[in-house]
Every structure is written in structure tokens, then in C-alpha cells.
Amino acid sequence: MITVHNLTKSYNSNTVLNIDHMEIPKGQSFGLVGNNGAGKTTLFSLLLDLIQPSSGHIINNEVQVDQSEEWKPFTSAFIDESFLIGYLTPEEYFYFIGELRGRNKADVDALLANYGDFFHGEILGQKKYLRDLSKGNQKKVGIVASFIGNPEVVILDEPFANLDPTTQIRLKGIIKDLAAKEGVTVLVSSHDLIHVTEVCERIVVLNKGEIVKDIHTSTETLKELEAFFAG
Amino acid sequence: MFKHFLGLQWKSFYRSASFKTEIWFKILMALGALYFIAVFLGLGFGAYFMIDEAGWGNPLRVVNRFMVYYLTFDLVFRYMLQKMPVTNIKPLLYLPFKKSQVVNFSLGKTVVSFFNWSHAFFFIPFSVVLLTKNYPFAQVVGWHLAMMAIIYCNNFINVMVNNKDAVFYVFAGLMILAGISQFYQWFDITLYAQPIFDYFYDMPWTAIIPWALLLALYFLAFGYFKKHMYLDGGLAKKHTEVRTENLDWLNRFGNLGTFLKNDIKLIKRNKRSKTAVLTGFFFVFYGLLFFTGAIEAYDGPFWKIFAGIFVTGGFLFSFGQYVPSWDSSYYPLMMSQNIKYREYLSSKWYLIIIATVISTILATFYVYFGWEAYAAVLVGAIYNIGINSYLVLWGGAYVKTPIELTSNKKAFGDKQAFNAKTLLLTLPKLLLPMVIYAIGHFLISPLAGYLFVAAFGLMGFVFKERAFKMIEGIYKKEKYKTLLAYKQK
């Protein structure tokens, strides 16, 4: 589904990302871990064409992302609060995203109905603008909005941070289902090793912009990761 | 401890992003500041002689008479522009400072604000002139001190009424009413206000009263702040109750409708955009300066075109200029969503067109000033729709100033909005139509001048596709730079 070719990103002489080759097959749940500054968000921003690669490119479903915009219809993401429109209510925001992705109100409502549990009664019908919601609730809105319109690729940057324990557990279930049942390619980054090992079939460790580990998740993976990060 | 506060203040000043602007812009700003200082100084020194020459009576009494307007205007101006001291308090709350120290420092900071000392440029020279004209020393000093205290009273009144929009609008409304009734001689508020200010001169000891008032206001403000210095109190963000609106009728426009719906919500729900629209509305009346002959310099024939452009282009200039910055806080979303630049730009373009048409309809009253005035308005509208609407979108690609929608900070101009490219683009926006008109006016007749400008505007319609293609290309080219710039708040 996604292929990375000789991708580098440098600021001045400082290379923050350098990936020779990486392939993510369709329907894989892909986890990205690494310390601060390892290049996780840089890679995701490159995938979304929010920054330009210094060299190399990314192919998303046969579309080269920095050349064509054709990847947009089947790719969705939630990176940070700059993906939310503060002056809309959650409902209005969902409908807005829905309309952009060719879904009418009824479609969106049907999708939202599946996430009643996840929202825990704190999102819909609150008469609040997104900017007035708590950080955790904002995150829930952003994550669910990225599921609208049956995307084939979903990119979530640190989705577990700021969420309460109950929601974290529910989110893990949602992500697993997306990849396993619906064949969606899910890319997740996280600082929580336990969560990623539980959710992702494959885990890539970035360190200073380079891939240092590429693991097919097994029962040993958590120990291996902990050993790596303990230094 | 006070040293710490000062250190923080100094750092926040010289490390602020706006401080790091281009050198020539700093020079421009310094010149602007000097200009205002010069105007105030000129007023201060000149007011006495101007009033004396005009023969309106004792200059001090005349100044006292209109002082009530001066002070209210000051208050309104402060309410709209002066920043409140509560910002930056939050990180200090849990540190080992006494709350009273923090409050004292914050209030103290407002005392040295530009809004206070700028008045000195008027009052000090005026008082000096009074003294040289042999007004009794003690009385002038009494008056001067009283005025100073009142200016500072305004400062603390503003601190306390901040964000109480209801109070502000009632107050401003009453003042406008007073101004109108004075103009039509129904009721003259100055007759009742003047004696108060005269007291300070006639009986200098009464200057104690405003100082006592000032002291009282300070303690009130102090108490008010100390009481509200909690995260869920005065430091909390104001939450507005949501009013949902049904804009489904826009659905028929497809994707364009989706954006238009969003833009309408953007305008209605954010302070900053509301200010922009209001500014645009006031532009409709800008033409009065030209068509009534109020200002002689504006009597030249092509100034009418200038007026026509501004009257109908208020929204275009106040809102359009900042496309795409209105969406700056969620630009990454827009750029990664399933959106075509063309549709995004079209929706902004239609918004500008609709606003221009509404302004043109509102401006119908210019017919009162003769056909030429209204022709200028109509022609201005055509030019705005046909040419300026593209230019403003084009210029927007270079602006790259992130906009904080919920605050009015920098609503009246921003350094980064002025760069060489946007300045160059104002030439065809304003000067070109004037030149075109002048050619027609002087070669053939005024009517031909209007027709020329209108024809030019109509040509814009023909080239719409091409213009959009070019603008789209520029937006695409600037995309990464824009994303980066919006990240740096």
C-alpha cells in the first residue's frame, strides 16, 4: 500500500529522517516508536505532504504524494489539534469532514452511532465548540473524524496520549478491528510500548531519523523494545 | 522579586516574534509613531492658538467643554485595543510569589502603557502654553494633575469593565447619541460636563477628588483581580453557548456550499472575523468624505474612483486580504483533506463577491450626491469583482500571518502582512483604476473614464479561469512555506 523510497528530510545540514526503503502492505497495523526527535511526526507529515522531502519520495497506493493529490480521497489522519476546526461543534465538524469525503448526514450519523461507547456521552449534543472541549475529548473527535468516509489508510500520531484509561482500551479495540476486519492500513505512533505491541502487527523503531528495528510483533516484542529503550 | 517580574517582562518583549521583523519595517513603524507624537504635540502646542484665533473664547474653557468627548473616546479606544494584564499570569500562580505582588505588578504594568503616556504629549505642551500665557500657576497645575488622574482612572475603569461587552455597547451607544443630539442641538452634554472640568482650574484643590477616585479605583481593581485570580475564575476562558444554525440551503452548491457554510460560521463565531466584517461595513461610509467635499484634497476627479473602490471593497480589503490566514489554525487539516484548491479558493472568491454586491446595494444612498457619485460606486464594484477579487487572493498567498480567531490582537494591521509583494499588489488594486479613469476623463469625458474602468473590470470575468489557474499554482507553490509559517504562533 505504502512504499518509501530513499526518503530523507534535512534542515540545513541536520538530517532528521533517512529511510532507504520501507514497505507497508495493505491492511497492516503499523506501529512507529522512538524517542522525541526520532522523526515520527516528520515521517507522518511527509506522508500527508505537509512538508517536502529533501530527497526520495513516498508512494501511497500508486500515487506519489508530493506530486499528485490523488492520495487524499483514500487517506485520512489525525496528527494534532491543527486538524480540528475550533469554532465548530463536534457534530458540525463530523458533517463537514463527511461532506468533504462524500458522505451525507445520515452516513455520518450511522458511523457515529458505533462510537457511542468511545465518546462516553461527552462529545455529541454538548452545545460546546471544539475549542472549549478538554484535550482528551478533542482527541476523541479528531480520531473518530479520521474514520469517516471509509479511508484505506489511517494515520494517527500518538492517539493514546491524553486519553483516559477506558478510552485507551476502547481505542485499541477499534484500531485492531479496522486493520483486521476492514483491511484498513493503520499507521500509529506512540510512546507507550505496551499499547503498540498490543495493537500493531509490526513495529518499526526510529532513532535519530533511521530505522533501527523492524519487528513482526510476537510475545517477545515488548521485552525486546524495553531492552532497546532502556539503553 | 520585582526584579524577576521585570526580567520576564523584558524577555517576553524582545524575544517576541513580532520584534524580529525586517529593519525597514521597524523604520516605518518608528516613523508612524513619530507622526502620531508630532500630531499630539502639534495639538498640544497649537490648540491654544487655534482656539484663540477662531475666537471661540477662553481656550482652556473650550478644551474643558469638549473634554468629556476626549475622555470617552479614550475609553472606547482603550476598550477595543488595550490588552489586559491577566495574560502570562498563569505560570506564576503556583510559584512562591504572594498573590498581591502578582496583582500589583500586573496593574502596575498597565500604568506604563502607551495608552496612558501618549496623552502627555497633548497635556504637557498645552499646560506649558497656558503658563506662558500668564494663566495662574497653581490653577494650571491643579487642572493638569486632575486631568492626569482622570486619564489613569480611565485606565483602571477599562481594566475592570474588560470583556463586559454589554456595558461597553450601552456606553458607546449613549455617547453616540449624545454626539448626535449635540450636532442637532437637541441636548448639549458638554454644558453639563464642562463645569466639572472647570472646577479643577477654578479651585485647584478640587484636583484631590480625581486622585482620591483614582486611588479608590486602584484598590477596587486590585481587589477584583485578587478575588478572580483562579483558573476557573477570572483567568478562565469564556465559553460561549453554542447556537447552531441551519445552513442546509447552501448544500445545493455542492462542495462549494460546504466551504461557504464553514466560512459563514467562521465569520459569525469568531471575534476577529466579526471585527473584519464590521470594518468592511464602515468602509461603505468612507465615500462620504469624498462626495460631500469634506476634504479639499479629495476633490480631484479620479479620487471618486478611489472612493468607489473603497466603498464597495471594504470586505474585500478587511477579510479578503487575509485569505487563507483565516484558516491558519487548521490549515494542515485543509491541506490533507480531500479538498481541491480550486474549490477552496472559489468559496472565498464567492464570499468576496457576495459581500461586494451587498456593499453596493447598501451604498445606493450615494445617488443623493448625483449620478457621478453613484457611477463611481458601481464602477468601483465592477472593478472590485472583476480584478481586485483575484488580486486579493493572489496577495493572500504571500501573507502567511497566522490569525488567532478568538482575539482581536493585531486586528488593525500586522507587520508580516506588509511585505514587498503585498505592497506591490496594492498598486493595481488602487492606482490602476485611478489611472485608467484619468485617461478616459482627460482624453474624452468623465463618462468615458467610468466606462473604461468598468470595461477593465468586465475583462476580469472573461479571464476568470486563467486567473484562478494562476492563483492556484501560486498557492500550491507556497503551500509548504505557508504551513510552516502558520505553525509559528
Q: What is the ipTM of this complex?
A: 0.88
pLDDT tens per residue across all 231 residues of chain A:
899 999 999 988 899 999 999 999 999 999 999 998 899 999 999 999 999 999 999 999 999 998 888 898 899 999 988 899 988 999 999 999 998 888 888 999 999 998 988 888 888 888 888 988 888 999 999 999 999 989 999 999 999 988 989 999 999 999 998 888 888 999 999 999 999 999 999 999 999 999 999 999 988 899 999 999 887
**For residues B170 and B414, what is the distance between their CA atoms, to the nearest angstrom?**
30
Distance from CA of B296 to the nearest CA of A (A): 46
Which of B261, B266, B332 has its CB closest to that of A87? B266
Query: How much is the average pLDDT of B83-109?
Result: 74
Query: How much is the average pLDDT of B236-264?
Result: 75
Question: What is the DSSP pairing of strand A29-33 with strand A185-189?
Answer: parallel
Residue B242 lies inside a defined structural domain of this protein: no
Residue B266 lies inside a defined structural domain of this protein: yes
B118 and B194 in a common domain: yes
Domain's final residue, options B192, B227, B262: B227
For residue B242, the chain A residues in CB contact (below 8 A) are 89, 127-129
The answer for A 39-58 residues in CB contact with B (under 8 A) is: 48-52
Domains (ranges, CATH) in chain A? 2-83+151-230 (3.40.50.300)
For residue B406, the chain A residues in CB contact (below 8 A) are 86, 131
Most confident stretch, B29-33, B161-165, B338-342 = B338-342
Match 489511517 to its residue by C-alpha cell. A154
B308 and B172 in a common domain: no
Output phi, psi for A124, to 5 deg.
-80, 145
Which of A52, A72, A128 has its CB closest to that of B242? A128
Which of B239, B266, B333 has its CB closest to that of A83? B333
Identify the burial level of B115 via C-beta atoms within 10 angstroms of its C-beta, where 0-12 means exposed, 13-18 middle and 19 or more buried.
Answer: middle
Identify the pLDDT of residue B415: 45
In chain A, helix, strand, coil percent, each to 5? 40, 25, 35
Q: Do B242 and A127 touch (CB under 8 A)?
A: yes
Q: What is the pTM of this model?
A: 0.75
In this prediction, residue B421 has a pLDDT band, given cuts at 50, 70 and 90, of low
Residue B163 lies inside a defined structural domain of this protein: yes
B422 and B316 in a common domain: yes
Domain's final residue, options B193, B227, B261: B227
Which of A52, A79, A100 has its CB closest to that of B258? A100
B197 and B61 in a common domain: yes
For residue A73, the chain B residues in CB contact (below 8 A) are 338
B274 and B223 in a common domain: no
Q: Tell me: pLDDT of B1 over 70.
A: no
List the Cα angle B1/B115/B295 in 5-degree steps.
Answer: 165
Closest by CA position to B263, among listed B401, B355, B335, B400? B355
Mutate to test the interface with B, among A97, A100, A101 (most CBs of B within 10 A): A100
Count of domains observed in chain B: 2
**For residues A200 and A206, what is the distance between their CA atoms, to the nearest angstrom?**
15
Q: Tell me: pLDDT of B238 over 70.
A: no
Helix (H) or strand (E) holding B399: helix B389-399
Written as nine digits, the cell of B48 is 491654544
Q: Which residues, including other chains, have CB under 8 Å from residue B321's CB and lie 6 or more apart? A: B392, B395, B396, B399, B417, B422
Domain with B173, as residue range(s), is 2-6+23-227
Query: How much is the average pLDDT of B422-429?
Result: 71
Residue B235 lies inside a defined structural domain of this protein: no
**For residues B312 and B382, what is the distance between their CA atoms, to the nearest angstrom?**
9
B277 and B180 in a common domain: no
Round the CA-based radius of gyration of chain A to a whole number and report it: 17
Identify the pLDDT of residue B412: 46
Residue B246 lies inside a defined structural domain of this protein: no
Span B153-180, pLDDT tens digits: 988 888 877 767 677 778 778 878 887 8
Q: What is the mean pLDDT of chain B?
A: 80
Q: Tell me: pLDDT of B294 over 70.
A: no
Pick A142 or B184 by higher pLDDT: A142
B258 and B182 in a common domain: no
Span B353-387, pLDDT tens digits: 999 999 999 888 888 888 888 888 899 999 999 88
B219 and B261 in a common domain: no
Identify the pLDDT of residue B189: 77
A192 touches chain B (CB under 8 A): no
Q: Tell me: pLDDT of B306 over 90.
A: no
Identify the pLDDT of residue A184: 92
Contact criterion met (CB below 8 Å) for A131 and A177: no
Span B394-418, pLDDT tens digits: 888 887 777 877 765 554 444 444 5
Nearest CA in chain A to B262: A96
The interaxial angle of helices B271-283 and B341-362, nearest 10 deg, is: 40
Q: Tell me: pLDDT of B15 over 70.
A: no
Distance from CA of B266 to the nearest CA of A (A): 7
Pick B271 or B473 by higher pLDDT: B473
Residue B16 lies inside a defined structural domain of this protein: no
Identify the pLDDT of residue B26: 65
A55-60 β-sheet, strand order? A14-24, A2-11, A55-60, A63-64
**For residues B452 and B435, what is the distance between their CA atoms, to the nearest angstrom?**
10
To the nearest whole percent, how much of chain B has pLDDT over 90? 6
Residue B284 lies inside a defined structural domain of this protein: yes
